[in-house]
Amino acid sequence: MTVSTQPLPEDPRTNPTTDPHWWRQAAVYQIYPRSFSDANGDGLGDLPGVTSKVPYLSALGVDAVWPSPFYPSALADGGYDVDDYRNVDPRLGSLDDFDDMAAALHGAGIKLIVDIVPNHSSNRHAWFQEALAAPKGSPARSRYIFRDGTGPGGSLPPSDWQSVFGGSAWEQVPDGQWYLHLFAAEQPDFNWENPEVREEFLSTLRFWSDRGVDGFRIDVAHALAKDLTEPLASSSDLSPEGEGTDGGHPFWDRDEVHEIYAEWRKLFNEYDPPRTAVAEAWVHASRRGRYASPDGLGQAFNFDLLQADFDAGRFRQIIAANLEQAAATGASSTWVLSNHDVVRHATRYGLPPAPTGSAKGRDGKDWVLSGGTEPALDRGLGLRRARAATLLMLALPGSAYLYQGEELGLHEVAEIPDAERQDPTFYRSPGVDKGRDGCRVPLPWTPEGPSFGFGAGTAHLPQPEQFGPSSVSRQEQDPDSTLNFYRRALEFRGKQQGAEELDWIGSADTVLHFRRPGGWQSITNFGTEPVALPEGSVLHSSAALDGSLLPPDTTAWLA
């Protein structure tokens, strides 16, 4: 590992607490709260656990933290089944603990983004319980999407709509009606045509904004508006999610959804600085800009890199297209390589390519993992490429979203026994898709001890032996560790970041080389042979350099 001795320039960023544009090039760290740090030893991570790790987050050098849902939940979908939008799951703490966490983060100059799940509640939400107890056609049922069935005696679902997690998207209730759930049956979809639903979410956004949160991540932002005109349109002959370009799908990415976000934007702009929002919208790239509009949510995740193979041509095409799109909408670009829904990128890059013609899932999951990774996975190559891709990503203009554990170079945990799996995709597929538990295994903080320092109890998902050497305290002692590699990269990024501009240099098939304002350069070798490093002093690199040569699967930053 080449570590530069060059002094760092002054930090050009404006005061992060008041700058209304703080989000544009922020490094945002996603926390999966139940698997980050367990302060009370019950096996589930909690908010006091997050608070206790603020010094860690500060040393890592992130600008913002986005915890996945921490609300009361039966965990039918890892917390994305929300019982109460304005409270904290008692197993994770209390609202006071939330305030302590926010204060500790803000005290360290770190922003806080909370996850809002507006497409569906949990089936334990007071409104859904009320709907179940109320008769057909009642106002309580009209907050959700209830319909009579088809076929003899209404015994068949109202339409052919399928759940993202597998099976029909309709579930029958005892009086014979059916309700819509695009995800698990425990996640009934709200009816966004009902003004009460709209008011309720405005109150929730205000609740957290008043509590001092800086922004929101909007879960399945492209699903809220639905065409509910009777008879319900068939969806089986339409393009799958993400492929439509005309807004004609009965429930994905309909144009009316933007009326909702225009209303939210007005609320966000009542605050100083305005609250930010980022859409999780798995839509066709040509329609992403609508979510990122300054009159809408303001930013949208771009999952293109996350779905791409480690390939120079593909990366360049994606980067160029997204920068162009961001410039057209006024938003900044977003970049993501890992999150709580996909196979970790160190593992993706270490798997053999999927066979020609095989489709990647909606979350970029490779078919190989579903069948078990271990025999095929090259851990060393995967991590080497992951570090190279990360360093490239961190040099791009725009926001970088990082997922807990990637800074430790963690691999997907493939060896979770079926009996211990939690993800509904595993149960609804059934068992064909191993699900997303493998990237949600509790973090290792120490090389030994119960749950590798995650907490005093047994972790809620089993941790593999290789987590010990990957633990935080072990990596802190090793200057070449992935953790120290991330720390240094984020430190440099914070200081080097200038205008949201990028100039490509050269156009080799296997090398990506570009310059940012102020002379900061990033060069990545995707090929199989070493290439000459350009002129300049090396700031950082993802692997050891070979004199003046950049080895394969390596990125270097130069000034």
C-beta of 301 vs 492, nearer to ligand GLC: 301
Q: In this structure, what is the dihedral angle of CA atoms 29, 315, 22, 20, given to the nearest 10 degrees? A: -130
| Residue 280 or 366 having the CB closest to ligand GLC | 280
Q: Which long-range contacts (CB under 8 A, 24 or more apart) does 549-553 make?
A: 550/523, 550/525, 551/525, 552/525, 552/526, 552/527, 552/528, 553/310, 553/381, 553/384, 553/385, 553/388, 553/525, 553/526
Tell me the Cα Rg of the chain. Answer: 23
Q: Is there binding between residue 433 and ligand GLC (CB under 6 A)?
A: no
Smaller CB distance to ligand GLC: residue 280 or 406?
A: 280
User: x/- contact string, 266-285, with ligand GLC (CB under 6 A)?
Assistant: --------------x-----
Q: How many residues bind ligand GLC (CB under 6 A)?
A: 9
Distances (CA, A) of 315 to 154, 301, 320, 322, 455: 50, 16, 9, 11, 39
User: Is residue 11 within 8 Å of 495, Cβ to Cβ?
Assistant: yes
> CB 341 → ligand GLC: shortest distance, Å?
5
The minimum distance between CB 436 and ligand GLC, in angstroms, equals 7
Question: Looking up tokens 């009606």, which residue turns up?
Answer: 177
CB of residue 222 to ligand GLC, shortest distance in Å: 10
Residue 134 Cβ, how far from ligand GLC at the closest point, in Å?
Answer: 25
Of 22, 71, 80, 454, the one binding ligand GLC (CB under 6 A) is 80
Report, in Å, the least distance between residue 554 CB and ligand GLC: 31
Q: Give the span between the Cα atoms of 542 and 387, in whole angstroms.
A: 5
Task: Please pick, from the candidates 171, 341, 366, 412, the single residue that binds ligand GLC as defined by CB under 6 A.
Answer: 341
**516 SS3 class:** strand
3-state secondary structure of 76: coil
Among residues 116, 220, 489, 538, which is the contact residue for ligand GLC, using CB under 6 A?
220
Could you say which residues in the range 370-399 bind ligand GLC, by CB under 6 A?
none
Helix 482-496 to helix 379-394 angle (10° resolution) is 10
Sign of the C-alpha dihedral computed for residues 489, 492, 497 and 502 taken in this order: negative
The Cα 193–Cα 179 span in angstroms is 15
CB of 538 closer than 8 Å to CB of 545:
yes
Task: Retrieve residue 151's tokens.
Answer: 């076929």
| Nearest approach, Cβ of residue 335 and ligand GLC (Å) | 17
Pick 165 or 268: Cβ nearer ligand GLC: 165
Q: Does 77 bind ligand GLC (CB under 6 A)?
A: yes
What track of x and - describes contact with ligand GLC for positions 113 through 132 (by CB under 6 A)? ----x---------------
Min. distance of Cβ 97 from ligand GLC in angstroms? 23
End-to-end Cα separation, the chain, in angstroms: 17
Q: Which of 36, 170, 183, 403 binds ligand GLC (CB under 6 A)?
A: 183
Q: Within 471-530, which residues bind ligand GLC (CB under 6 A)?
A: none
Of all residues in the shown chain, the one whose CB is closest to ligand GLC is: 80
Distance CA 138, CA 528 (A): 65
* Residue 65 vs 539, nearer CB to ligand GLC: 65
Mask: binding to ligand GLC, 89-118, rule CB under 6 A, as x and -? ----------------------------x-
Nearest approach, Cβ of residue 403 and ligand GLC (Å): 11
Owner of token pair 């999952």: 303
Helix (H, G, I), strand (E, B) or coil at 384: helix
Name the residue nearer to ligand GLC (CB basis): 25 or 399.
399
Question: How far is the C-alpha of 441 from the C-alpha of 50, rounded, in Å?
Answer: 16
Closer of 33 and 274 to ligand GLC (Cβ): 33
Considering the complex, state which of residue 461 and residue 543 has its C-beta at the smaller distance from ligand GLC. 461
Integer Cα distance of 167 and 508 in angstroms: 46
Catalytic machinery residues: 219, 270
Residue 197 binds to ligand GLC (criterion: CB under 6 A): no
Which of these, 473, 469, 450, 474, lies nearest to 460 by C-alpha position? 450
Q: Which residues bind ligand GLC (CB under 6 A)?
A: 77, 80, 117, 183, 219-220, 280, 340-341
